[in-house]
Structure 1
């Protein structure tokens, strides 16, 4: 039979009214029914596997005392109760019942009673804790350590008295002679401290932000058994449940957040009668400046401003980068237009001359073809230099005026073209970027005169004034109506490029033209007399 029991160390044996045999062991509870054992453990709802005592009441409910609480078996279901539910002690050696339907249990801390109706009320949620009444040295016991290693560990005599063995003799209790103390103990908050500062418990208080530790000292008056007065406290605003203080009469709170609080304490007497009203102390804890609403708003605003500033800075950097890229693209577009487009126009003029003289004058056609080839090489070289933002090679071999005249001569081929250069005042070196931009503007004006205006005369004037330089290019071509010029026209893109170059130099740019009356391009650049090539490089 041993192999079918939950364990071989037998603690208690009892038979219920139905004839079932119940065996308590250190490893679980066994029920012998119809010739076989059924084992029950904590997995079935038992409070603990070590079962010390078994009792069946008049309602056929079975009560089991275990090493970790009380268990009830009713209608095929176990219910467990422990000190967490208000049970006086978890280790239960013996269970007896008096005529008032109170259960009496012995333990290693004394003897205590519990009304079965209180257990029912607890199960139904009518009460929050089990109201146990404990008996010990104050009630006459010579020792609170009861015996439970052997059975029975207590019995009820015919006169209704209860007998329990202890390590220091036999204890007898007459439940009929015991009267309950139904007077709840008055509760008083004696002192409240924070650091070295104390507060009146009868008046609401406003605590400073430096109150890091709060100590509440309280007490309750019960002359019957003062050592059995139990306390519970709660700090409303922080605690959700009552804190079991047992017999401790001090509560300590540290590092409370700012806010409004109410400290509540209640107490019970030796018969577990509670003073529910208890005592209270209301107070408020002021916040540090960094815990105030305005500081949080200021911090949020500072974070928002910082984030917005960071976003703006990123957007500005992106905008500046995009502006630089766009400016560089525009510059390359202008340079390509002012080099390749002008070069292609000149090459076109030369090839037209080749086509015209290929049959009649092959030698002249070959000469024009050589010039066109030279212009191809020159245009490619100029395009590379322009993309790299280098000075035009035309300016390396001469001054601005001669470079403009050479441009016109390369493009005229065999066309009857009168090119005149007028220089007012002695020519002087100009800053490279100004000289290069004037050359590109002049080349664009000359190309437009030959390509679109079909001019026969071009006059180039350079006026080196004291505070600047002026360039004027006039032709006798067919002219145009400037307001009606469309964006799709290449000449219009050339005009935009000339405007942009003039803006970069801070120059005044003006174009005058009428149909049938030629075109005049005027650029006036403010340049001091002391600005030279060397000065610009140093700048």
Structure 2
């Protein structure tokens, strides 16, 4: 059975049959089937485009001839319920594919571009004025080629088309499945085969649209209760079902009017109306949203936006911006209070530890003074008494006198240690001067230019902090004078609001990388000792050094621990903050 015959550019014939495709050149036939690449032997249409490419449509797909074999355009498809696929080429050389399951598509660069998915096309022709007329089960459709091009270029743009049905005088909207079922005669009239006979369309006398329809909202219901339309709509918090009914008035062809709507901030794109022409929303976010409606005129041409209506959804208390900002502020305030309380606890714990250490040092100093040193002093007095009873020329007398002189030095050092264990007698606000005295006493080891820098408002240091910082600084200065071979050294003390910093730097030979990595030098315990002292008072000791570029040592201690004057209690700070607020 032959389904289509096409005369090719070389006057040969391409014949579509239910058993494949035949190519007749003169009296010679060349048959093509599945063995030659066809998707199916049940061929429904064959077409030669402007580039002389042969296209074949079957119920299993679309194929095109490459050399002597057909190649499939896309994967095999399910049967199309007996609706054939058809090819139509317009005057500009654009090739269209019509029929289920393709709907209306454009064939471009080997790909099918969808134009109208839900259209089961039976036949299609191009009329003057670049218009495609398609027949289907539900009527006749007129598509401007310009609108098709725009739709393929801008996918969100609506497709203009005119739907011809029984309201236009057809006895039946369902066209027949014969091929062709739509033609145009030389007088310009279009003839269409329908299931109830032959229909004549005088397209030259087709009425033109004179105006756009009038779009309005006749009714609104909220939770099933009808409310006045008004200039805008305000929804109370918690509204779960809102139904907005739309209407368009056009006296030329009211049954052909199509409408779309969109609620900004809710709908991602334009929505087609149903038969009820009602938009139903169950959840509208708080805020003001524009409800837009557009429609086609009697020629099927879409307007930009024919109607706009404001819909305001009121928010619950917990959804309002000021309430959320208030909650965020309260949460931030609570976090700040907790942070201050935690800092206060840590500061008190640190001060308690320092106080206990101070009390322990004073107890040890007191015990040494009252017991150990008193006992040693008694022994020395007895040795002195025994020495005075020896003759002047007694050899042992000289030995005892020398030992007594050495013991005086030992006792002096012991008393200094006891004094160090007690609260320091130095001025705790002048660490810079104390370290400068250390540098002055060390100038006998090496001539070094020394500078002392003090930044910020001087604060009184806690006695333990002062003593440990002093010992760390003294150790650093001693190492610099003895080992660094420096020509310049300086101390920098910073009384910052948040921390206390002591820096000691020199321009000497620097430290070896191995010493920096290990943290100490073999047989020397100065660096570990400084780190231990810093850790005991809650501080941090950092050392930077490079060979030939000098060394810098920095001690950092939190201000809440370092300074003698306590910071304002948390309760007082919070109360002051609330008063200011």
TM-score normalised by structure 1 residue count: 0.57
The count of aligned residue pairs is: 362
Tell me the equivalent position of 1:490.
Answer: 418
User: Would the alpha carbon gap of residues 171 and 340 (structure 1) be closer, same or farther in structure 2, given more than 3 Å must change?
Assistant: farther
* Pairing partner for 2:147 from 102, 118, 131: 118
CA contact (8 A) 2:160 2:300 kept: yes
- Deviation track 1:271-324 (CA, whole Å, cap 9, x = no partner) reads 314454533333433333333343233212211110011101211221222223
- Secondary structure class of the residue paired with 2:163: strand
Secondary structure in structure 2 of the residue aligned to 1:59: coil
* Residues 246 and 205 (structure 1), Cα distance of their counterparts in 2 relative to 1, 3 Å cut: closer
CA separation of 1:183 and 1:246: change in aligned 2, threshold 3 A: farther
The yes-or-no answer on 1:7 pairing with 2:39 is yes
Change (3 A) 1:336 1:359: same
Q: Does the 8 Å contact 1:183/1:273 carry over to 2?
A: no
**Are the counterparts in 1 of residues 115 and 151 from structure 2 also a CA contact under 8 Å?**
no
Instruction: Tell me the residue number matched to 1:31.
Output: 64
Corresponding residue for residue 394 of structure 1: none
**8 Å contact kept, 2:91–2:130:** no
Are residues 1:245 and 2:278 paired? no
In the other structure, the counterpart of 2:96 is 63
Task: Report the equivalent of 1:305.
Answer: 333
Task: Report what 1:91 is aligned to.
Answer: 120
Partner residue of 2:115 out of 76, 82, 85: 82
Question: How far off is 1:359 after superposition?
Answer: 9.3
- Structure 1 alignment gaps of length 5 or more: 44-49, 362-450, 453-486, 498-539
Distance 2:55 2:224 in 1: 62
Q: Is the 8 A contact 1:63 1:73 kept in 2?
A: yes
Q: Helix, strand or coil: the match of 2:160?
A: coil
Q: Shift in Å at residue 245 of structure 1?
A: 1.7
User: Could you report, residue by residue, the CA deviation over 1:424-446 in whole angstroms, capped at 9, with x for unpaired residues?
Assistant: xxxxxxxxxxxxxxxxxxxxxxx
**SS, match of residue 337 in structure 1:** helix
Q: Distance in 1 between matches of 2:224 and 2:68?
A: 73
Shift in Å at residue 81 of structure 1? 3.2
| Rg (Cα) greater in structure | 1
8 Å CA contact 1:228–1:247 kept in 2: the answer is no
Does residue 323 (structure 1) correspond to residue 356 (structure 2)? The answer is no
Q: CA distance change for structure 1 residues 495 and 245 in 2, over 3 Å: closer, same or farther?
A: closer
Q: CA deviation at 1:246?
A: 4.8
Distance 2:255 2:369 in 1: 110
Superposition deviation, residue 24 in structure 1: 1.1
**Is contact 2:107-2:113 (8 Å) kept?**
no
SS at match of 2:312: strand
Asked whether the 8 Å contact 1:232–1:246 carries over to 2, the reply is no
Match among 133, 147, 159 for residue 104 of structure 1: 133
Unaligned runs of 5+ in 2: 1-31, 77-82, 390-410, 426-581
- Give the match for residue 322 of structure 2: 294
Output the CA distance in 1 between the equivalents of 2:169 and 2:66: 43
Matches within 5 A, 1:167-246: 171-195=199-223, 198-236=226-264, 238-239=266-267, 241-246=269-274
**Quick one: distance in 2 between partners of 1:255 and 1:22?**
50
Q: Mean Cα displacement is larger for which, 18-27 or 196-205? A: 196-205
Superposed displacement of residue 141, structure 1: 4.2
Query: In 1, distance between residues paired with 2:233 and 2:144?
Result: 43
Distance 2:370 2:59 in 1: 109
Q: 1:353 to 1:216 in 2, by over 3 A?
A: same
| Residues 345-494 of structure 1: pairs in structure 2 closer than 5 A | 345-352=373-380, 355=383, 490-491=418-419, 493-494=421-422
Shift of 1:23: 0.6
Structure 1 residue 255 displacement after superposition: 3.2
Q: Which residue of 2 aligns with 1:281?
A: 309
Following TM superposition, by how much is the alpha carbon of 1:17 offset from its aligned partner in structure 2, in angstroms?
5.3
